[in-house]
Each structure stands twice: as structure tokens, then as C-alpha cells.
Structure 1
Amino acid sequence: MGAMDDLLGPNEVKVLSEALAAAAPGVVWDGVLAAGTQLEPLSLRGRTDVVAHALVRALGTYPAAATAFRAALEDPTFTGWALWPVTEAAVTLALDDGGTQAFDDALALLAELTPRLTSEFAIRRLLQADHERALAIMQTWTNHPNEHVRRLASEGTRPYLPWAVRVPLLLATSGATLPLLDAMHNDESEYVRRSVANHTNDLARHAPELVLEAAARWQQTGTPGSTWVVRRSLRTLVKKGNPRALELMGFTPAQVSATRLRAETSVLALPGELAFDFVLTNTGDAPARLSVDYAVHYVKANGSTAEKVFKLTAVSLDPGESRQLRGRHGFRQMTTRRHYAGTHALEVQVNGIRHGRLEFEVVL
């Protein structure tokens, strides 16, 4: 069981049950309280499902749920990760109802709940059920006075939202969410802009041309917020060496060399860091602005390798100018990346072009 799983435990369910009992005393909440004893050794997602099912059984209908949850919002303890099952229960009952009134009100309820805990996961099932209707309503949130609601319009519709179910129609109709992003790319809140940038970066995985067109459009506004969002939105395309993305970020083709690539060690024991350095030289006859990245070729379980590109820095060099650059890359076992022993490699990437290669052994 990981630390994230403990975000929803028996104590959180007890506080939730007490808040709901005070808000809707006519409902029998014993099953919800009992659900708090059934959470070990489940994941956070599994715990959410257990509590959500208990809420559905206790409430029975969407109107009952909407009334209880809105009343509970008067209680400041009605907050935190216990609200994830609340949002899931609301969506389940709204979809069970089957009516457009319940569907629309469920969206409104998620917007009311999201300042307490993001509704981005539960909203995915409403998008699955009727993405056009949901998107039309969410478009109205782009001018909402609360930054959490504005962010929900972007984050809840991200193509590859972590932890969330996929919405195939959003992947098949990539441009469907662009009106949301267009409306919020220069939002006054960095919290919202960050979500817009992450959403756009998601889109770049399967609709790069769409993203490049949007980035070029946003860049024309020339505001600091737009500039920041464009840079974050294009980060994956820049790492992939996409020529248009590099150009939009001011990195034009240049003549360079990356020499004397070396690492402090040729054998790395986990956990550890690989320290490396190299000399970057502008060999051309014009000043050059350079996006400097590096690619790590990881050994996989089957002995093959898979690469991942990481940002190092951005530098400007005059003709003939050289600069020594250094980097450190950590190797440790994580839930998101499992390391295996074997011969790994590192390459320097400058404006999308690879330079040099060094190999090193990872031992466990």
C-alpha cells in the first residue's frame, strides 16, 4: 500500500459520514460509515469505489444525492479526498437517472464541489456519456469567477489525464477541446494556465499539427501568460526535435558540435546519480540559440532499450564560442519507472539533433 492510498482512510470516511448525517439527517448513513472499515489493502481508486458504492446505496436517487451534497457544502469539514467518492456517486446516480436534467445538474454539482477537491476524475464519465453536451456546458466555465472551476474545464477534458479513464471520443475529435483552451490560454491564474499547457501537451501526442497551429495563434498575443503556456505546451514536441516547435520557441537550425562527452563513472549502482559533462561549440558563422536536451536509453526487462528525452538547458552562443555544460541524472526505483541492470546510454540533443553517445553500466 502506498502513501497515496492513505489519503482516503477510515478517519476521512468517518468525517464524511458525520458531515453528511448533519446535512441530510433523514438518510441512513450507517453503510457509508461501515465502508471505512473495508478499505485495507485497497488502492486509492479502489477505496474510492467502495465508498462511492456505499453512498449510492444510501442515497438511491440523483435528486437525493444533489440535495445532500449541496447541503453538506455548508460544512467546512466536507472537503479533501473523501469528496472523490462523493463526485463519483453523484455521476453514477445522474447517469442511472438517464435524464438531461440530471446530467446537466450533475455537471453543475461537480463545478460546485471542485473547489473542495477536483472533480476531474468523475467528470470523465459524463464526457463519455455525452461529450458534446458536456463540452457545451463546460465552455461556459471558462469565464467562471472561481479558478478551480475554470481549471476543471481544462483538466477534466485532458486527453491523457493521469489516473483517469480515457474518453475515446475526445481522442477521436482532438479539436473538440480547443475552444476551451483558446478561452483560457492567457488566464490570470497560473493554476489554470498550467492545466491548459498540460492539456495542450497531451494533444501533441496524437495531434501535433493542431497544437502547433494553436501555439502560433497564442504566441501572437505576446502576453507573458501566453508565452509561458506556449513554452509548456510545446515541451514534448521540442524534445522530439519537431522543427516547427523549435522555430516557434526561437531555436533555429544551427551548426554546432558537442564534444568531450564524459561521465564521472562508467558503473552506476542504484540508487545513484550519473554526472556528465560535454563541450558545446557554435561552429557556424551566426549567433545561435540552442535548446539542449539529453536522451537516456534505459534497459527494459527483456534486455532491449527505450529512450526518454530530458531537458537540460537553453543557451545562446556566438560564432566560435564554446561552453562546457554539466548535468546530473538520478537513477532510483520508482512506481513510475522500474530500472534494470545492463548497458545504458546517454546522448546529447541540440535543437533536435543528436550529438555523441556514452555508455554506462547500471547495477542493482
Structure 2
Amino acid sequence: MDEMVDAALIGQLARLLRQVGVEPTALEAVRVADQKLRRRVDVVRDALLVDLPPGYGEAAAAVRAAFSDEAFTGWMLWPVSEAVVDRALAAGSARSFDDALDVLALLTTRLSGEFAIRRMLNADLERTLEVATGWTRSPDLHVRRLASEGTRSHLPWAAGVPDLVRRPGATRAIVDALYTDDSEYVRRSVANHVNDLSRDDPDLAADIVAGWLDRPEENTPRVAGHALRTLIKKGHPRALALMGFEGDEFRVDGPTVTERRVPLGAAVDFTARITNTGTRPARTAIDFVLHFRTARGVLRPKVFKLASLLIAPGDTVVVDKSYSFHARTTRSFHPGEHAIGLQVNGRPHGRDTFHLIQPEESP
């Protein structure tokens, strides 16, 4: 990801700006080798703030002029959008603020403005949400998605917006307007948005989804399930009921791991048997909980979806799963004891342990 903003892209951005009368002196002096993506974006943004005209209006006009060239697209627009917001907030006028939101809506058609809009939300939450709510009616799916994605309370990689966390209901009009959007890209953002809300106000997230299910369209059940995925894993009673998961009379044998010593880079396999001991069919959400060992030697749980099954009274189902400990950038693995548990409709059942070892320790 770091290489998405590299010397070649910076050179192309400089050429495009020169074509519209901006002399990119500072931009051409930028060097980003060996820097992380976020730092690269900041360095390019700072150079743009040196090269662009000092007034907001002139800077925005230069960006709009550059946009007329289809080559003005992709990752170069992230630092451009940040520079536009910086100029607008420095200008301090309502006119500049609103125009900067218009520029973000323009740029987002070629690369999402979800990161740059965070500073607008922090500067004036009410006005930004008012404009974003209007974007839900845009004919452009990227603008509609920006309305949802940019206003998420826990958007990954993005600056925090404390007021969105304190006021989780502030964006309800946006998600209610978009949950039936024609675009899967937009609907997925809406589901992630409500999943974010569930971290701060679980009951509100359930209320929102309940409203959707009262006015469903073809894709609504899938959007609802994705929106409630964290609450389902946590066993939130209303979320389980909304998605039709019912029944709490089960006998669970396992989970049982097949190998007690698992080398780093290999996989742990486990199996379990679940019997419905009740008198009615039970639709079940089955998850497994992997208790990872941290660098400090404590176990920290992470819940993973395993299966959704309808189990008849007296019937037994067998579930099995393999989890790989191959190297990945999103998680570090530490040798030592780990554990696996099972959840059925949010309730914990069973636990088994194994040791993650260095490959050279294998027998």
C-alpha cells in the first residue's frame, strides 16, 4: 500500500498541476522512499499547500481545472483532497466550507474523499452531516457511498470524530436512506456503518436494522446480517432474534483440536458436535473463538464466524474448521499456549488448548 503514492505518481501530479498554471516546485522536491502511506500523503499535502495559490478560491479553481484531465485520478487525489480541506478551514468562511464539500464530492468520483471529510466533520458536524445527507440522493454511487463511509464513527485508517461516537444517532438519516441502494458497494458501506454504531450503542444498531426489516427489499436481509455481525458474535438477544437465530437448548461436544503442537506457518484443525436437545427446530449462528497469545503472554479472544445452520430437534451436526497461522500483516503470532472455544447463538460452549511453536521445535 505504501507504494501507491510513489515518485512516479508525484511526478504525474506535478505535471498535471503545471498544465493548469501551478508551479509545483515544492512537490517536485518531495521524496517519499521508505515512508509509510499516511506519512507520504501528509508530505505531498504539505508540498501542495506550498505550491497552490494561497487563497481558498484560487486553490479550489486550480483543482477543478486539473480535474478536467482524466489522468487526474486515483491515489494522487488523497493528498489533494486534504490540501483543499486545509485551505477551506484556514479561510474560515461558510462559503469556503461548503465549496470544499462540493470539491470532495467531485474528487470522490475518482477516489474516495472519506479521509479528508473527517476534518470537516470535526470542524462543523451539523453542516457536514446536512450536506452528506443530501449526497444520499446523488446519481453518482461514489458520492452516495461517501455519505455513508465518510461519516462512519470508527472508519479504519481515518482521523477520529469524537462527536460521532458521542452521538451515534446523528447519522441515522444517512443509513436509512441508503440501505436499499442499487449499488452493493454502497450497501456494504451502510452495513459497516451500522456495525460501527453497534460498538457505541448496540440497541440503536438493532433498532435501525429492525426498521429496515419492517421495510425490506431483496437485499435487505444480507445488509442486515452484515450490519449486525458483531452483535451476533456477542450474543446480543435482539440482534439474534432479528436475524432469526433462536434456540438455547444444545449439547456441544468439543471443540477438540486434532494437534496439540502447531508450528508457526501451519494450521490448527478442530471439530465439534452440536445436538439440538430442544423440542423445536433451532436456527443457529455457530462461531468459534480463538484465544490468541499476546506478546505479554496473556490470551486475547477473537470471534470468527463458522456456520449458520437449522438443526432439527434431536439432530446432531458436526462442524470442523482449520485456522492457518501463516504470516500476515494484520496480526502477529506468538508461540505458547492458545485456546479454541465455540459459541452457539452467542453462548459459549467448550474449550480446548494447543501450543503454537517455532517450526524448528516440531518433532
TM-score (norm 2): 0.96
Once the two structures are TM-superposed, the CA of residue 260 in structure 1 deviates from its matched residue by 4.4
Given candidates 326, 334, 346, the residue that maps to 2:340 is 346
Given candidates 108, 115, 123, the residue that maps to 1:114 is 108
**Contact 2:78/2:116, CA 8 A, preserved across alignment:** yes
Residue 189 in structure 1 maps to residue 186 in structure 2? no
Q: In structure 2, what is the equivalent of residue 52 of structure 1? A: 45
Q: In structure 1, what is the equivalent of residue 128 of structure 2? A: 134
In 2, Cα distance between equivalents of 1:175 and 1:258 = 39
Q: In structure 1, what is the equivalent of residue 251 of structure 2? A: 257
In 2, Cα distance between equivalents of 1:332 and 1:169 = 39
Residue 272 in structure 1 maps to residue 266 in structure 2? yes
**Contact 1:278/1:324, CA 8 A, preserved across alignment:** yes
Residue 41 in structure 1 maps to residue 38 in structure 2? no
Greater mean alpha carbon deviation, residues 155-164 or residues 329-338: 329-338
Q: Which aligned pairs between 1:140-179 and structure 2 lie closer than 5 A?
A: 140-179=134-173
Q: In structure 2, what is the equivalent of residue 104 of structure 1? A: 98
Q: Is the partner of 1:191 in helix, strand or coil? A: helix
**Contact 1:267/1:361, CA 8 A, preserved across alignment:** yes
Q: In structure 1, what is the equivalent of residue 8 of structure 2? A: 11
Output the amino acid matched with 1:284. Answer: G
Output the amino acid matched with 1:97. Answer: A
Q: Which segments of 5 or more consecutive residues in structure 2 lack a partner in the other structure? A: 359-363
Count of residue pairs brought into register by the alignment: 357
Output the amino acid matched with 1:330. Answer: S
Q: In structure 2, what is the equivalent of residue 30 of structure 1? A: 25
Q: What is the percentage of aligned positions where both structures have the same residue?
A: 44
Once the two structures are TM-superposed, the CA of residue 52 in structure 1 deviates from its matched residue by 0.6
Q: In structure 2, what is the equivalent of residue 80 of structure 1? A: 74
Once the two structures are TM-superposed, the CA of residue 334 in structure 1 deviates from its matched residue by 2.9
Q: Which segments of 5 or more consecutive residues in structure 1 lack a partner in the other structure? A: none
In 2, Cα distance between equivalents of 1:116 and 1:270 = 41
Output the amino acid matched with 1:193. Answer: R
**Contact 2:5/2:75, CA 8 A, preserved across alignment:** yes
**Contact 1:289/1:316, CA 8 A, preserved across alignment:** yes
**Contact 2:118/2:161, CA 8 A, preserved across alignment:** yes
Deviation by residue 1:178-235 (Cα, 9 ceiling, x = unmatched) = 1101111111111000000001000100111110111101011121222221110000
Q: Which aligned pairs between 1:312-327 and structure 2 lie closer than 5 A?
A: 312-327=306-321
In 1, Cα distance between equivalents of 2:254 and 2:286 = 15
Greater mean alpha carbon deviation, residues 265-274 or residues 305-314: 265-274
Q: Is the partner of 2:274 in helix, strand or coil? A: strand
Residue 21 in structure 1 maps to residue 10 in structure 2? no
Q: Is the partner of 1:320 in helix, strand or coil? A: coil
Given candidates 304, 323, 341, the residue that maps to 1:310 is 304
Once the two structures are TM-superposed, the CA of residue 304 in structure 1 deviates from its matched residue by 1.1
Output the amino acid matched with 2:207. Answer: E
Greater mean alpha carbon deviation, residues 169-178 or residues 256-265: 256-265
TM-score (norm 1): 0.96
Deviation by residue 1:256-287 (Cα, 9 ceiling, x = unmatched) = 11214322211111112111111111111111
Q: Is the partner of 2:136 in helix, strand or coil? A: helix
Deviation by residue 1:99-122 (Cα, 9 ceiling, x = unmatched) = 110000000000000011110000
Output the amino acid matched with 1:17. Answer: A
In 1, Cα distance between equivalents of 2:68 and 2:23 = 20
**Contact 1:187/1:225, CA 8 A, preserved across alignment:** no
In 1, Cα distance between equivalents of 2:274 and 2:251 = 6
Once the two structures are TM-superposed, the CA of residue 254 in structure 1 deviates from its matched residue by 2.8
When residues 260 and 299 of structure 1 are mapped into structure 2, their CA distance, relative to the original with a 3 A threshold, is: closer
Output the amino acid matched with 1:200. Answer: V
Greater mean alpha carbon deviation, residues 254-263 or residues 157-166: 254-263
